[in-house]
Structure formats: C-alpha cells, structure tokens
C-alpha cells in the first residue's frame, strides 16, 4: 500500500466515507517495521516527511492510537538511536533502520510538532503545568495551526 497517495487521500478528504478512511489507516499501519512506516513507492525507505502525512491520516480517520504508535516508533527511533543527532532532522533511512543518507532538514520536524501541539493541554496559568492528552488528538478537538 503506497504511503504518500493513501495518506494524502485521507488528509485531503478524498475518501467519501469514514469506512474508507479507516481502511486506509489500517492498511498503512499493517506495513510498519520496528523503525517506522516504510514508503513502498520509495524502495521501502522511511521518510519522516511523508510519515507526517500518515500521522495526520490516522488522526483524521479516528485511529489516534495508530498515530501515537507511529509517533513513538518512528520518531522514537530517530531520537534514541545513537547514530542519529538526537533530533528528527534526518531526511530518511531504510525500513530496516540502516542509514543511507544523513541529509538533514528542519522541515521534517513539522509533523512531530503538529501532533504534539494538538495534544498538549495547559493546566494552569503561565504555562506552569501541562499534560499530554492523546485522546484530544482527534478530528473533533484539533485546533492547532502554524503561522
């Protein structure tokens, strides 16, 4: 199942039923490796940029748990692997975790930031306390934006 086209179909609301969006979400999640979501259209490379669209597709289809699983798997690998820069700036890597290119791009972190900004709830004035509430990351409650 191609990652980019299917993810974009959900993100851009090309699916005409919730069932189709849910089927796409399930199909996308079924192909994950321990390192993230491979893009079969890119020789099974993992692309954080395209995976950002997949994160959105899972959320918009109502499969918030899949979005959070992908986030912790793929972005967790990027942040925790000793070969990385403790960042999510890597352009991509192979589906088995092998690094091919260490090209960096600050644009690749937008999906991570978008998801977190959707889930963070301020609990007190002055940003003194906050909480991460994944259940708020659904289509009905999403209200984050970029400017």
Averaged pLDDT for residues 26-33: 96
Average the pLDDT over each of 2-6, 82-86, 139-143 and give the range with the smallest value. 139-143
In the chain, which residue ranges form alpha helices assigned H by DSSP?
3-11, 18-29, 48-60, 64-70, 76-80, 110-119
3-state secondary structure at position 12: coil
pTM, entire model = 0.69
User: How buried is 36 (Cβ within 10 angstroms: 0-12 exposed, 13-18 middle, 19+ buried)?
Assistant: buried
Query: Torsions phi, psi of 95, nearest 5?
Result: -60, -20
Digit-coded pLDDT (tens) for 54-109? 999 999 999 999 999 999 999 999 888 888 877 777 788 889 998 875 444 444 45
| Higher pLDDT pick, 21 / 114 | 21
Q: What is the predicted pLDDT for the residue at 39?
A: 87
């Amino acid at each position: 199942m191609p990652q980019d086209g299917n993810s974009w179909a959900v993100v851009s609301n090309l699916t005409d039923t919730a069932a189709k969006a849910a089927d796409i979400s399930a199909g996308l999640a079924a192909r994950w490796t321990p390192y993230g979501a491979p893009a079969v259209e890119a020789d099974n490379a993992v692309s954080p940029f395209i995976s950002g669209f997949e994160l959105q597709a899972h959320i918009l289809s109502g499969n918030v748990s899949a979005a959070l699983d992908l986030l912790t798997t793929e972005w967790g690998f990027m942040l925790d692997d000793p070969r990385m820069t403790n960042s999510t700036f890597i352009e991509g890597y192979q589906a088995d975790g092998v690094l091919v290119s260490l090209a960096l791009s600050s644009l690749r972190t937008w999906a991570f930031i978008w998801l977190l900004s959707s889930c963070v709830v301020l609990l007190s004035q002055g940003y003194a306390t906050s909480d991460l509430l994944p259940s708020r990351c659904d289509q009905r409650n999403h209200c984050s934006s970029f400017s």
